[in-house]
Amino acid sequence: MQADWDDLRVVLGVWRGGSTRAASNLVGMSHATIARRIDALETRLSVRIFDRLPSGYALTQDGEELVKAAQAMESELNAAQLKLTGRDKRLAGLIRITTIDVVATSFLMPVLTKFSEQYPEIEFEVGIGYRALDLRKREADIALRMINKPPEHLIGHRLTGVAWTGYATPQYIEQHDVSPGGDARWIGFGTRSAKPSWLQNSPNPDLSVWGMFDDLPLQIEAARQHLGVGYLPCFVGDRDEVLARVFPEVLVKRPDFWLLRHRDTRSTVRMRVFSEFLTEAFRESQALFEGRLYD
């Protein structure tokens, strides 16, 4: 069989996800790359592994046999990895992470707690930042960023999509008209302009903008204090006990979350183990990040 483990891992990802886009979250490749690899593998094996249907990818009979073989290999690899690294208390050293404030406080800390229970000798430094140069300057080992496209000098993979919408207190929603042209107002951020770019793409660009609040924690608190409608990511707003969605059915997709690493860390075991652990944590919370928590 002219198929290596990387090929089989891609096949398993498409089978589990049902599409190349869903598989990209599972295997850490772009959906276009996954599609090309499946096409190339089918050519080498001279069999059709998947039927391409409007609803997604469906296994053929030959594909079912290949998946069985891939699952057996995966099971053996997982068992070997568990013996070598999965519970290896000797894994030690420092991992420096940079991310944005709301991710560090509302999502990352519980992940670090669980990871540290398995690998107590790995230590973390967590910094808050929005700059793209943190890794190039070696100020951090891993960056969690909401970006459209990762820089070419870094390695990494997409973790999840991110949806945003408007949030305010129920009291504010009850007392103000949030329809187009109403007296409700957005809590401002970014740079002052007559029509900032974020407003044009917001759930209601006809509302006015009030004030200027530099970072997400300030915008969240302003919304909690009834100052207006905060334009917030769903993974923050949907879990806030004080806030409610203003436009429940309107979600705006903004840049995805990516895990980025400097190329020099490619062979560092603790970086690889933590990256895999973190990727799985994001996968488990994907519905929250994509605004599908209440679907």
Q: Which tens digit of pLDDT belongs to each residue from 231-249? A: 999 999 999 999 999 998 8
With cut-offs at 50, 70 and 90, classify the pLDDT of residue 27.
confident
pLDDT for residue 90: 57
pLDDT for residue 131: 62
Task: Kindly report which listed range (22-26, 206-210, 220-224, 271-275) carries the lowest average pLDDT score.
Answer: 22-26
Distance CA 25, CA 180 (A): 37
What region does 137 belong to: left with phi over 0, alpha with psi -120 to 50, or beta? alpha
By three-state DSSP, how is residue 143 classified? strand
The mean pLDDT value of the chain amounts to 87
pLDDT for residue 85: 39
Burial status of residue 134 (CB atoms within 10 A of its CB: 0-12, 13-18, 19 or more): buried
Distance CA 93, CA 270 (A): 8
pLDDT for residue 226: 97
Judge contact between 18 and 57, C-beta under 8 A.
yes
With cut-offs at 50, 70 and 90, classify the pLDDT of residue 214.
confident
Question: Which helix (H) or strand (E) element contains residue 269?
Answer: helix 269-284
Q: For 191-214, what is the mean pLDDT? A: 87
pLDDT for residue 249: 85
By three-state DSSP, how is residue 156 classified? strand
Q: For 256-263, what is the mean pLDDT? A: 87
The yes-or-no verdict on residue 121 having pLDDT over 80 is: yes
pLDDT for residue 170: 97
**126 strand-pairing partners:** 97
Task: Kindly report which listed range (3-7, 98-102, 198-202) carries the lowest average pLDDT score.
Answer: 3-7
Distance CA 38, CA 14 (A): 9
Provide the token pair at 163.
């949806």
pLDDT for residue 81: 59
The yes-or-no verdict on residue 49 having pLDDT over 70 is: yes
pLDDT for residue 99: 93
- Tokens 């998947």 belong to residue: 50
Question: Which helix (H) or strand (E) element contains residue 41?
Answer: helix 31-45
The yes-or-no verdict on residue 59 having pLDDT over 90 is: yes
pLDDT for residue 88: 41
Percent of the chain at pLDDT exceeding 90: 59
pLDDT for residue 135: 62
pLDDT for residue 284: 93
Distance CA 62, CA 59 (A): 8
The yes-or-no verdict on residue 159 having pLDDT over 90 is: yes
With cut-offs at 50, 70 and 90, classify the pLDDT of residue 204.
very high
pLDDT for residue 161: 93
Q: At what angle do helices 31-45 and 5-17 cross, to 10 degrees?
A: 120
The yes-or-no verdict on residue 134 having pLDDT over 80 is: no
Angle at 251 (CA atoms; ends 248, 255), nearest 5 degrees: 150
* Cα distances (angstroms) measured from residue 146 to each of 81, 129, 131, 259: 31, 12, 11, 9
Cβ neighbors of 28 (< 8 A, separation 6 or more) are 157, 158, 279
Q: Which tens digit of pLDDT belongs to each residue from 63-110? A: 999 999 999 888 888 666 545 433 444 588 899 999 999 999 889 999
With cut-offs at 50, 70 and 90, classify the pLDDT of residue 138.
low
Q: For 128-140, what is the mean pLDDT? A: 65
Distance CA 50, CA 41 (A): 11
